[in-house]
Structure 1
Amino acid sequence: MNDTARTPQTPLRLSTVILPHRRWHEGARETWLRAEELGFHTAYTYDHLSWRVPFRNGPWFGAVPTLTAAAGITERMRLGTLVTSPNFRHPVTLAKELITLDDISGGRITLGIGAGGTGFDASALSHSGQEAWTPRERADRFGEFVPLLDRLLTEDTVSYDGTFYSAGGAQNIPGCVQRPRLPFAVAATGPRGLKLAARHGQAWVTTGDPKLYENGTPEQSIQAIRGQIGKLTAACDDIGRDVSELDKTLLTGFTPDRGLPMESVDAFVDFAGNHRELGFTEIVVHWPIPDTAFAADQKVFEAIATQALAQLG
């Protein structure tokens, strides 16, 4: 059955993103604990070296150490990146970190992964004066990065000599706690990325259509996302995979609605219900941060976390 025609009874999970902008012992630790208390399915964090204003010139901590600390104080909630990219990661070292993190967490890690973008930290490892990778160059690297990382997380020893990455007898024993490896949530909207999601992903991630963020309407956003899912379906069909095997994750805050769904439980239920009808299985909301694009009333946010899914039925 075409995914865009799935029934409104598609199971839905609610997850959150906790930005790594606070010191662990000055509020961050309590936030991760509270996320588990509220019942979020997964708590993700951004995997960046720095991020946009107003975070650009302030504190910003590493994703893997943050998730390691969160794994040590939580028990049930899944944890993950949303997303990691090749901008400053190498598959060999990343695989070792992920296997360790999966072990420490008892098999609760999801790797959100994407091709990356420009700006912020995209050229942090570049030589002075070197231009950021073009979209084609990012797609080329991503196309090599994901299959190699897949191998590194599933095979004991990997040797590989590629255009952008290499591995010389890289050993990853004992592998992931989750078998055959921890799940990939592939963020993609272009044809090459969608093919990677279809072949290697256990989930697909979108933020909607960025061209609609400033001047689009919620209705236009729904249509654009429906089109993305149609392309994902075609990519799955091309390799003989059922698109329903992939979870579909919407990272909120980047559609024309912006913060409107977080204004009340009813508003969120309407928003989530509209996207569940498209086939989404996971909605991800940002933990409120005052005076930013992710500002929200903490009491409303917690009410959404504890009440919204029950109202969706």
Structure 2
Amino acid sequence: MRLSTVILPIHRWSEGQKIWRRAEDLGFHAAYTYDHLSWRSFRDGPWFGALPTLTAAATATERLRLGTLVTSPNFRHPVTLAKELITLDDVSGGRITLGIGAGGNGFDATALGQEAWTPKERADRFAEFVALLDRLLTEDAVSERGTFYSADEARNIPGCVQRPRLPFAVAATGPRGLKLAARYGQAWVTTGDPKLYEEGTPEQSVAALRGQVEKLAKACAEAGRDVAELDKILLTGFTPDRGRPLESVDAFVDFAGRHRELGFTEIVIHWPIADSDFAADQTVFEKIATEALSQLG
């Protein structure tokens, strides 16, 4: 099992760069950031762009994998995103993972002046978005006329450092999203069952996640893939456990062990942010980073 972190883009780079370097020093497998224009309780505070932040992080680190968790079609277009990702993969020396999802009804869903899409519209757009992005990142020139997204001789030379392209970590829980993960993903991402966040129990959450893994396996079988080929990533902080796994090393080891049994290969924890949903003791957090995995056995 691997342990990674999410560093929200809320810090000016004079301070933020210290956090990304510290994440590498602590031995995290990867450090991700949210790709939003703003987000929930942080909407009225500092919030910087994901891809410039990751570019800066790529120059400030040497070994740490970097990525979005997650990018969505809410304000992205495959043609321009592909060009930026190829550049970022080059700057980082091939250390980028693209976490990608259908998006939701958050603040950036209407920031460009559009009406919020229905769940079906988001799913329709996401399917077309992922398929076109896959082509753009693997072919030198792409022309495509889609319902929502098109490309006209879009050039992407020399392509990604990682071949045939940088990996996709597809966030999905529904049948259509899981099919995309099975077809295009090198990894699958979940935050659990959002219906259980307020009043569910950890046991109910584990059962729900087991069901999601089983549905992923079914989707992979239908696509002719072995589900073992996909990394399975759990982004924590959105299950009924909330911040309890970060209260101590023992608490985290127990949490990680229960989810490793479900087949998860990577757990992602939020870098502590005081006075927020992601508040945690920094000393305990760093002990988890350096000691927890060795205690899993």
TM-score under structure 2 normalisation?
A: 0.99
Instruction: Find the partner of 1:78 among 62, 65, 71.
Output: 65
Structure-1 residue corresponding to 2:20: 32
Q: Structure 2: how far apart are the matches of 1:126 and 1:154?
A: 32
- SS of alignment partner, residue 62 of structure 2: coil
Q: CA deviation at 1:158?
A: 0.3
Instruction: Find the partner of 2:189 among 205, 208, 213.
Output: 205
Cα deviation per residue 1:195-227 (whole Å; 9 max; x = unaligned)?
Answer: 000000000000000000000000000000000
Matched, 1:255 2:239: yes
Instruction: Find the partner of 1:214 among 189, 192, 198.
Output: 198
One-letter amino acid of the counterpart of residue 74, structure 1: T
Q: Structure 2: how far apart are the matches of 1:17 and 1:169?
A: 36
Structure-2 residue corresponding to 1:125: 112
Q: CA deviation at 1:239?
A: 1.3
Cα deviation per residue 1:110-159 (whole Å; 9 max; x = unaligned)?
Answer: 000000000221110124xxx30001000000010001000000000000
Structure-1 residue corresponding to 2:49: 62
Q: CA deviation at 1:240?
A: 1.1
Structure-2 residue corresponding to 1:50: 38
The residue correspondences of 1:137-216 to structure 2 (distance < 5 A) are: 137-216=121-200
- SS of alignment partner, residue 154 of structure 1: coil
Matched, 1:18 2:7: yes
Q: Structure 1: how far apart are the matches of 2:50 and 2:224?
A: 35
Instruction: Find the partner of 1:103 among 90, 93, 111.
Output: 90
Q: Structure 2: how far apart are the matches of 1:256 and 1:296?
A: 16
Instruction: Find the partner of 1:270 among 254, 262, 282.
Output: 254
Please, what is the CA RMSD of the aligned residues? 0.5
Q: Note the residue ranges of structure 1 that are not aligned, 5 or more in a row.
A: 1-11
Q: Structure 2: how far apart are the matches of 1:86 and 1:119?
A: 12
Q: Structure 1: how far apart are the matches of 2:150 and 2:108?
A: 23
- SS of alignment partner, residue 108 of structure 2: coil
- SS of alignment partner, residue 44 of structure 2: coil
Cα deviation per residue 1:221-256 (whole Å; 9 max; x = unaligned)?
Answer: 000000001110110010110000000000000000
Cα deviation per residue 1:71-116 (whole Å; 9 max; x = unaligned)?
Answer: 0010000000000000000000000000000000000000000000
Q: CA deviation at 1:273?
A: 0.4
TM-score under structure 1 normalisation?
A: 0.94
Count of aligned positions = 297
The residue correspondences of 1:285-300 to structure 2 (distance < 5 A) are: 285-300=269-284
Q: Structure 1: how far apart are the matches of 2:118 and 2:104?
A: 9
- SS of alignment partner, residue 180 of structure 1: coil
One-letter amino acid of the counterpart of residue 61, structure 1: F
Q: Structure 2: how far apart are the matches of 1:255 and 1:96?
A: 35
Q: Structure 2: how far apart are the matches of 1:199 and 1:259?
A: 33
- SS of alignment partner, residue 137 of structure 2: helix
Higher relative contact order (CA 8 A, sep 6+): 1
Q: Structure 1: how far apart are the matches of 2:255 and 2:144?
A: 45
Structure-2 residue corresponding to 1:228: 212
Q: Structure 1: how far apart are the matches of 2:275 and 2:108?
A: 22
- After superposing on structure 2, the runs of 4+ consecutive aligned residues of structure 1 that deviate more than 3 Å are none
Q: Note the residue ranges of structure 2 that are not aligned, 5 or more in a row.
A: none
